[in-house]
Structure formats: structure tokens, C-alpha cells
């Protein structure tokens, strides 16, 4: 599957980057049909969470 191949490509990056990329891609996919989706707040939430997990 495309997504798997995509995620595989990112495996060379650190764990936190991988997690952010995976979640943001899913988020963007869900909003792909919108012209100007309002995803920034959700992206910030993702980053918040991943940064805290790291700590």
C-alpha cells in the first residue's frame, strides 16, 4: 500500500519525526477535498502530544 511505502521512506528519521509525519499525513488526507482546510490547530495538537511524550 502506498501509505506503507511512504512511511517506510521516513524510517530513517527519528521516532518523533516519524510519528508527526504519519499523523499529519493522515490528517491531511482526511481534509484533501477541501480547498483551504483548517488543520493547523490539529497539527499543533499533534506536535504538543509528541513533544510531551518525548519528555
Partner 1 sequence: MRLERITMENFRQYYGRQRLTFSKDPQRNVTVIHGVNGAGKTSLFLAINWCLYGEGVSNVGELISKEAISRAQPGETVQTLVELAFTHNGERYLVSRRLSGVKQPDGSIAINSQDDFTMMRIQWDGQAQRVNNPIGTMNAILPSNVRTYFLFDGEKIDNFAKPEASDEVRYAIYNVLKLEVLTRARRHLEDVAAEYRRELKRVSTGELRELVEREEKARKEKEQALARKEELEREIESARRKIADIDQRLREIQDARALQQQRERIERDLKQRESELRELVEEIRGIATSSFVTIAHPAIERALAILDEKRERGEIPSNIRQQFIQDLIERLQCICGRPFELNSPEHDRLLALMNSSFPGSLEDEVLDTSAALRPLVERGQALKEGLDKAMRRRTNLLDLIQAREEELDDVRRQLKGSPQEEISRLEKQRQDFQADIESYRLEQGNLDTRIEALNKQIAELGKQIEKAKKAESKERLLTRKASLAQRAADAIDEMYQVFADEMRQRIEAETKKIFKQLIWKDSHFQDIRLGPDYNLEVIDRYGLPARPELSAGERQVLSLSFITAMARVSGEEAPLVMDTPFGRLSSYHRNSITEHLPELADQLVLFVTDEELRGEARRNLEPRIGAEYRLEFDRRTSCTEIIEVRS
Site for partner 1, rule CB under 8 A: 1-3, 5-6, 9-10, 13-14, 16-17, 20-21, 24-34, 37, 39-40, 43-44, 47-48, 50-51, 54
3-state helix, strand, coil split of the chain in percent (to 5) is 75, 0, 25
User: Cell numbers at residue 6, please?
Assistant: 511512504
CB of 48 to partner 1, least distance (A): 7
In the block, which residue shows the cell 484533501? 32
CB of 23 to partner 1, least distance (A): 10
CB of 16 to partner 1, least distance (A): 6
Query: Are 31 and 39 a contacting pair, CB within 8 Å?
Result: yes
Amino acid at each position: 500500500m502506498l501509505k506503507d511505502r511512504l512511511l517506510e521512506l521516513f524510517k530513517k528519521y527519528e521516532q518523533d519525526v516519524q510519528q508527526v509525519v504519519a499523523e499529519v499525513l493522515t490528517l491531511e488526507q482526511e481534509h484533501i477535498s477541501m480547498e483551504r482546510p483548517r488543520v493547523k490547530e490539529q497539527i499543533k495538537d499533534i506536535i504538543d502530544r509528541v513533544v510531551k511524550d518525548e519528555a
